[in-house]
Structures are given as structure tokens and as C-alpha cells.
Amino acid sequence: MIWASWNDFWAMGGYGLYVWGSYAVVALGMLVEVWAAAQRHRQALQQVHEQLEEETDL
Amino acid sequence: MTLKLFHWAAPQTFYHLAGKLWKPFAVLAAALAAVGLYMGFFVAPTDFQQGEGYRIIFVHVPASWMSMVIYLAMAFWAFLGFTFNTRLSGMMTQALAPTGALFTFLSLWTGALWGKPMWGTWWVWDARLTSELILFFLYMGYIALTSAIEDPRRADKAGGLLALVGAVNVPIIYFSVTWWNTLHQGASVSVTKGSSMAQTMLWAMLLMALAFWAYTIAMALYRVRSIILERERHTRWAQELAA
């Protein structure tokens, strides 16, 4: 085992801020992208709906 | 064979194909990342020079690779678009761009956080860092350009041209560390010389790279469906699907 304790793990030998600052932003970036993509898909479906309603009204 | 490919390139057919494919790739990405992170944090040993700080490599290198791979993939789709005039090509180019921009940003971000403790600076204007920053601007330029043009086919043409011309920057990024004297270190993995890393470190990095690759495919397939719907909203099949 590399780490003596969890504290040891989070400290990353003094590089904790840099290591976790990297991984946190990678995770955050991916979460935001996934959320934005899901949002865009909902909007796209909504657009098709509105188009359909517009055409049936005519 | 060719006919079959064109059959799948029809937006309606591809919508359903992408809908079936994105989930397995997302699951694959999560599984590969889980194993890769475990290897990276619990199996790979401490680096004799950089201590634990080197563990940034497991996201930095895969993100940087993907930033270049995605741009080349965009150039490839743009090339297909100009050659065969298929509508799907432009949609795929657009579907890839946000993920490419994200990985380029993450490459720069994790690079800064790695540079600070090891070089003593967040940023230097050396060839590797500067060309990667230019890549980020190319992605942003592509996204801005394509979203500024109303007509999708014209947006695809203009964007495709930028994707093709900008691809010249990718080999410049890749070879920058050998062509110029840079602060950035040389390649850790080389096709001709193999790897300079410990086996477990290398495995963790490759697993993370595969995870990012699967993530990219999942995201592009997911996003292309939204793009198809946005453009095909007048068609019967799309309206039946949304009804």
C-alpha cells in the first residue's frame, strides 16, 4: 500500500492542492458538459414539438 | 459497401444508430476511468523525481491527446463533407467541437497546476503551451463561426474549412517539444522508443486515455442526435419521434 492513512492520501505528499485541483476541474468540466448536452437535447425535442404545433395550426 | 455507408449516413438512420450506441460507450468510459483511477492512485508507485505531484499525468496526458485527436477527427469529417457532400459530416464535426474545446481547456488547466510546483510557474510562452492555446482558440473560433451562420449547410462549409486549415496546428503541437527547445518535457510514450515510465504508471495513463476516448465517442453520438433534431424538425420522422 502506498498510503499510510487517508490523510496521507489527501495530502498527496504536499501536492494535494495541485493534484486535486486538477482532478476536480476535470470532473466538473465533464459534469457541466453532460448537463449542457442533456439540456440541448431537451430543447431540440421541444423545438420539434413547437414546429409540429405550428404546422397543425395552419 | 459504399451504398451501405451512405445508408447509415442518412440523418434519420444515424439518429437511431447513435441512440443505441452512446450508452455502451458511456458505460465503458466510466468502467475504464474507475480502473484507471484505481491504478493511478493505489497501484502506481511514487515518482522518484516528482513525488506524488506527477499523478496529474493521468488526466493531463489523456486530455492533451484527446484535444489533438478530436481536432483531427473534426478535420476528417470536414474532409468527408467536402468530398461526398453528406449532411451528417458537418453535424459530426459540430458534435465533436465542444468536447474538444473542453479537453483543450483541461489540458491547459491541469498543465498549469502541474507546472506551478514543478517549474515554478503556471505558464510560459513556449512552443508546446502556446500551440495548445492556439488549439483552444481554434475550437472557440469554430464554435463561434458555426453558431453565427444561420444556414446550417453554409455553417458546415465555413466551419469545415476552419477545421481543415486549423489541423496544421496539430502536428505543430505534437512535435513542438522536439522542434523547439521547450520547458515542457518530451513525449512520455513514443511509438519508436516505447515508454520511459514505470509499467503501472503507463497502464494507468493508457486506461485513462481509453476512458476519455470512450467519453468523447459517447458525447459526440449523444450531441449529434440533438443537432439532427434541430435541423430535421420540419420532417415527418422527427415530428413522429417527438410526438
pLDDT at B187: 77
A33 and chain B in contact, CB less than 8 A: yes
pLDDT at B182: 79
State the helix-helix crossing angle for B87-119 and B57-84, rounded to 10 degrees: 160
- The answer to whether the CB atoms of A18 and B222 lie below 8 A apart is no
Gap between the Cα atoms of B13 and B8, Å rounded: 6
Q: How far apart are CA B102 and CA B131, in angstroms?
A: 16
* Residue B137, C-alpha cell as written in the block: 482558440
Cβ of A35 under 8 Å from any chain B Cβ?
A: no
pLDDT at B193: 65
The conformational region for residue B186 under phi > 0 = left, psi -120 to 50 = alpha, else beta, is beta
Q: Looking at this predicted complex, what is its ipTM?
A: 0.93
Grid coordinates of B22: 452512446
Return the closest-CA partner of residue B183 out of B112, B92, B233.
Answer: B112
Q: Is the pLDDT of residue B1 over 60?
A: no
Query: Chain A window 11-30: which residues touch B at a Cβ cutoff of 8 Å?
Result: 12-15, 18-19, 21-23, 25-26, 29-30
**pLDDT reported for residue B6:** 77
Residue A16 — pLDDT band, cuts 50, 70, 90? Answer: very high
Q: For residue range B4-20, what is the model confidence (pLDDT) as tens digits?
A: 777 778 899 999 999 99
| pLDDT number for residue A55 | 83
Work out the burial of residue B8: count CB atoms within 10 Å of its CB; fewer than 13 is exposed, 13-18 middle, 19 or more buried.
exposed
- Mean local confidence (pLDDT), B78-104: 96
- B203 CB burial (10 A radius; 0-12, 13-18, 19+): middle
Q: Which residues does chain B have within 8 Å of residue A24's beta carbon, measured at their own beta carbons?
A: none
Confidence of residue B25 (pLDDT cuts 50, 70, 90): very high
Q: What is the pLDDT of residue B241?
A: 87
- Tell if the CB–CB gap between A30 and B215 is shorter than 8 Å: yes
What are the E-state strand segments in B41-191?
189-190
> What's residue A53's pLDDT?
87
Judged by CB atoms closer than 8 Å, whether chains meet at A48 and B114 is answered as: no
Please tell me the predicted confidence (pLDDT) of residue A2: 83
Residues B47, B115: contact at Cβ < 8 Å? no
Q: Which of B52, B227, B230 has its CB closest to that of A13?
A: B52
Give residue for cell 453565427.
B148
The pLDDT, as a whole number, for residue B181 is 81
For residue B125, the one-letter residue type is: W
How does residue B185 score in pLDDT terms, banded at 50, 70 and 90? confident
As a whole number, the mean pLDDT across chain B is 93
What is the pLDDT, as a whole number, of residue A1? 65
Q: Are B89 and B156 in contact (CB under 8 A)?
A: yes
